[in-house]
Amino acid sequence: MINMFIDPHIHMTSRTTDDYQAMREAGIVAIIEPAFWLGQPRTTAGSFQDYYSSLVGWERFRASQFGIKHYCTIGLNSKEANNEALAEAVMEILPLFACKEGVVGIGEIGFDDQTDLEEKYFRQQLELAKELNLPVQIHTPHRDKKRGTARSMDVILEHGIDPGLVIIDHNNEETVREVLDRGFWCAFTIYPYTKMGNKRMVSVVQRFGSERIIVDSSADWGISDPLAVPKTAGLMAKSGIREEDIRLTCYQNALTAYGQSGQMNESDWSDDESVDQRQLFEGNSVLRGQRPGTTTNIIR
């Protein structure tokens, strides 16, 4: 049974320590937190700077206390790209964060309402990714998804970016074929109740296999499940999907795709010292006096 997972799309800033604990217990060893919007628009570039800072600072530290390696992608999301003055100021500070340790790509960027301004900053950020040779994490629109996804891929290819460096996220049965055929990584977000559920994900893997397919939770401040990846893996196992396909879709493909940044290596977490809970939790301020177990009683 596969017992190591990566959730390559999760917004931990909005989650609690209970989530971190449950995630670690379920076998999640590494996560990627894309820069996104916070549920309401920011009004100053300083808010973005502090947000990016927290992604490479506080949140990274918080995750480490639970034995989870935290990586992130840095970008200006499509919703807030519609405020032009703000977008200009944010584009100024992006390169400073994009080069930092543990930043595995530019993301999540792409289209929301598919406006001209969204396209303008999407393109500018693709150029930045190209210049820094970083992977790109693409948010596809929830409305008019099929057309928006195709248009995102057109734009990316226009900039001469290798599709092997691009992860297209929030796919469904309608978009998967084209994304795979055009050579992109194809990520699926597992949403509780609506949209893509665990069962649908199992059928996608049954139908399309595991090559370049990635499962994530996109858990954030809304109704979402931070355990979506290990739960889906469990359901896949029950449904008779090969262990190797589970390993690829729930662990290895994300590592291969984002590992191209040079900022994410298996040794980051397989190395004993870095997941020694006693060392991680020692004197920490998140647990406020609680003592966790060592790794040996956390991994089952």
Distance (Å, whole) CA 109 – CA 122: 6
Which tokens hold the place of 96?
């400073």
Per-residue x/- marks for other proteins, 63-92, CB under 8 A? Answer: ------------------------------
Q: Which is nearer to other proteins, 90 or 241 (CB)?
A: 90
Q: Which is nearer to Zn ion, 36 or 71 (CB)?
A: 36
Among 79, 100, 120, 130, binds other proteins (CB under 8 A): 100
In the complex, the smallest distance separating the C-beta of residue 46 from other proteins, rounded to whole angstroms, is 9
> Is 60 among the residues that bind other proteins (CB under 8 A)?
yes
In the complex, the smallest distance separating the C-beta of residue 79 from other proteins, rounded to whole angstroms, is 23
In the complex, the smallest distance separating the C-beta of residue 225 from Zn ion, rounded to whole angstroms, is 14
Q: Which is nearer to Zn ion, 5 or 36 (CB)?
A: 36
Q: Which is nearer to Zn ion, 39 or 293 (CB)?
A: 39
Contact positions toward Zn ion, by CB under 5 A? Answer: 36, 218
Instruction: Say which residue the tokens 């010292």 belong to.
Output: 273
> Is 97 among the residues that bind other proteins (CB under 8 A)?
yes
Q: Which is nearer to Zn ion, 168 or 246 (CB)?
A: 168
CA 90 → CA 128, 245, 279, distances in Å?
A: 13, 39, 37
Which tokens hold the place of 131?
């210049």
Instruction: Please state whether the peptide bond connecting residue 174 to the residue before it is cis, i.e. omega within 30 degrees of 0.
Output: no
Q: Which is nearer to other proteins, 240 or 283 (CB)?
A: 283
DSSP class of 221: S
Among 3, 270, 282, 297, binds other proteins (CB under 8 A): 282
> Candidates 26-34, 98-106, 139-147, 197-205 — which segment interacts with other proteins by CB under 8 A?
98-106
Please return the burial class of 63, using the count of CB atoms within 10 Å of its CB with bins 0-12, 13-18 and 19+.
Answer: buried
Pairing of β 28-34 and β 69-74: parallel
157 binds, options Zn ion, other proteins, none, Cβ within 5 to 8 A by partner type: none
Residues 6+ apart with CB under 8 A from 125: 75, 76, 91, 94, 106, 109, 136
In the complex, the smallest distance separating the C-beta of residue 288 from other proteins, rounded to whole angstroms, is 10
Q: Computed from CA positions of residues 282, 285, 291, 295, in that sequence, does the dihedral angle turn out positive or negative?
A: negative
187: β partners:
214
173 binds, options other proteins, Zn ion, none, Cβ within 5 to 8 A by partner type: none
Three-class SS of 120-181? HHHHHHHHHHHHHCCCEEEECCCCCHHHHHHHHHHHHHHCCCCHHHEEEECCCCCCHHHHHH
> Is 279 among the residues that bind other proteins (CB under 8 A)?
yes
Question: Residue numbers of the site for other proteins (CB under 8 A)?
Answer: 49, 52-53, 56-58, 60-61, 93, 95-97, 99-102, 262, 278-279, 282-286, 289
